[in-house]
Amino acid sequence: MEIYNSNGNTTGRNKSKCSYCRAEGHNATNCPRVDEDYAYFTQTPPVIPMHSKTLKTNHWYGTPRYWGEWYEKCKNAHAKQILAKGKAAQSPTARSKPKCGFCGDETHNRRNCTAMDAYVDKAHVANQNWRRTFYEKFVVELGISEGALLNLKDRQGYYTNEEPKEFIGIVTDVNWHELSLFCSSTSKSGAYCGRKSDYVQRLRVTVQVDKETKVLSFGRNEGIDIITQRGFSKNLVKHTGDRYYWDAPEFVSVLSPSTTLLGEEWIAEGHRKSLEFLTKKRSKAKLDDEDVTALINHWS
């Protein structure tokens, strides 16, 4: 889901750096180079610390035109450190009685919250159920996977002047590793899904059309539905394509199904890490209010 992809999944993200020396692993309040540099700057007369280790990670300080800015940054960082030391020396204020951030119980915290563990377990099973249903519909029945040949359509013109144009595309990629029950909705087919975008996951099927690469849409609001054993229509995929997809081609039919199938481990894995991420800083009440719990119950 978007909140996990942008915050929980740290693959490819840059590490934070100190705003003073630009080294990794600390910030300006804890920077070990500030005191040394400040001692040079405050001598009489002031001395530019040209042998400072700071220049190894922040080279532009070594250019004379930036010496004034270097001094200002060093002075500000030194003031931050003095202030932080003063706060640390003050007597601590009385703390309220701790309680679990997930369920609110005062006898434990998140680390040993059985309710949170049970919530994640239920969400994991629900996601496995969704993945199995998605696999049976999308891959087995429709035959959509890498290598599938699809009939697509695009819109030319606007409103009453719209004229569909059909063409062929070949599937080159599907974001399998991201897919979860957050692709779906508890809303009926054709109805708008009001869940926050943080808790939305998009099915992104990439196709090659002539010399262009496109991301498919499976309908603006409908997406992909299934018929349950009781004969009811149930939404399987509501959110497809990119968040803003003005020129996304729309799926029509499969011309030649793919022979590239997924293994059982994709279903069993169930994207558990993203579900654990949900409960790290969010309470059960918040997840209830934002329709996350309802979606989990929907697939349990």
Dump pLDDT digits (tens) for 235-258. 899 888 876 666 788 889 999 999
pLDDT of res. 100: 93
Cβ atoms within 10 Å of 95's Cβ, excluding its own:
6
Task: Return the percentage of the chain with pLDDT > 70, whole number.
Answer: 89
- Higher-confidence position of 190 and 119: 119
pLDDT of res. 52: 92
Q: Which two tokens stand for residue 95?
A: 């703390």
pLDDT of res. 263: 76
pLDDT of res. 221: 58
In the predicted model, what is the mean pLDDT of residues 159-170?
Answer: 76
Amino acid in position 127: N
Cα-Cα end-to-end distance for the chain? 18
Highest mean pLDDT among 15-29, 37-51, 245-259: 37-51
pLDDT of res. 181: 94
- Say how far apart CA 55 and CA 49 lie, in whole Å: 9
State the average pLDDT for the chain.
86
In the predicted model, what is the mean pLDDT of residues 103-111?
Answer: 92
Minimum mean pLDDT range among 43-52, 123-132, 181-190: 181-190
pLDDT at 91 over 70: no
DSSP 135: I
Amino acid in position 205: V
In the predicted model, what is the mean pLDDT of residues 18-46?
Answer: 92
Residue spans of beta strands (DSSP E) within 199-249: 205-209, 212-215, 224-227, 233-237
pLDDT at 120 over 50: yes
CA distances from 78 to 28, 62, 84, 117 (A): 8, 19, 10, 44
Q: Which two tokens stand for residue 242?
A: 């990119």
pLDDT of res. 278: 87
Residues ≥6 apart with Cβ < 8 Å to 14: none
In the predicted model, what is the mean pLDDT of residues 112-141?
Answer: 93
In the predicted model, what is the mean pLDDT of residues 203-228?
Answer: 85
In the predicted model, what is the mean pLDDT of residues 120-134?
Answer: 94
Residue 203 β-bridge partners: 240
pLDDT of res. 203: 92
Q: Helix 67-89 to helix 34-41 angle, to the nearest 10 degrees?
A: 120
pLDDT of res. 180: 93
